[in-house]
Amino acid sequence: MYSMKLYLVRHGETDENAGNIVQGHLDTGLSHHGYDQARSIAERLSVENFDFAYSSDLTRALFTADEILSHHPLVELMPVKELREQSKGIYEGKPKELMIRDMKRQNSHWWNFTPINGESLEDVWLRVIPFYERLRQSQNGSPVLVVSHGGPIACLLSYLHHDLLENACKYVPDNTAISIIDVDKKGNCSFEIMNSSEHLCVR
């Protein structure tokens, strides 16, 4: 018997995603394509059942979660700051190539680079993993929806695979990709699907 069935979804595309603009805590909305993606994942999950739903408190995640829950009107959405994307500090709203340039100049890796006035990915790990553990320990077989961003989801999937933070890049999902994970009472995970975007291929 599992203690939690976790539905883990990344938000829909934004204009900044499409334009390679750094977002982080920058509160952006969905692009027209992102709206379509949100409707697609919502339709895919319309046949599922959720007892609880959590989302990053940033607009792009909240809208995606709201679209999914339009098929589940009795489920209350709980926004939480722990699920926010990595703060990119001085680079937010600027071309991603500028941040990559400075990262290389500092001889840093993407997972330990800390932007001025921002966070490292390790900082994201240190807020996302405790949130997940509190959530897991509070459930008793409940299906739970979590909508977040590429960085936090990559950290969580790396953790659930018993992998290292420095390997988290291989777990970064596409926009509205979904992972469905059965978690037993000891925290062991069985992955039904991981970072699946099949719903985007049928439109």
Residues catalogued as catalytic: 11, 85
**Which residues touch 122 (CB under 8 Å, ≥6 apart)?**
111, 112, 165
Q: Are 157 and 165 in contact (CB under 8 A)?
A: no
Give the containing element (helix H, strand E) for 159.
helix 150-160
Place of tokens 């909240």: 62
Provide the token pair at 67: 């679209």
State the Cα–Cα distance between residues 14 and 37, nearest whole angstrom. Answer: 10
Tokens of 11: 């938000």
Interatomic CA distance for residues 125 and 145, integer angstroms: 19
148, 8 Cβ separation under 8 angstroms: yes
What are phi and psi for residue 131, nearest 5 degrees? -60, -45
- Sign of dihedral through CA atoms 40, 44, 49, 54? negative
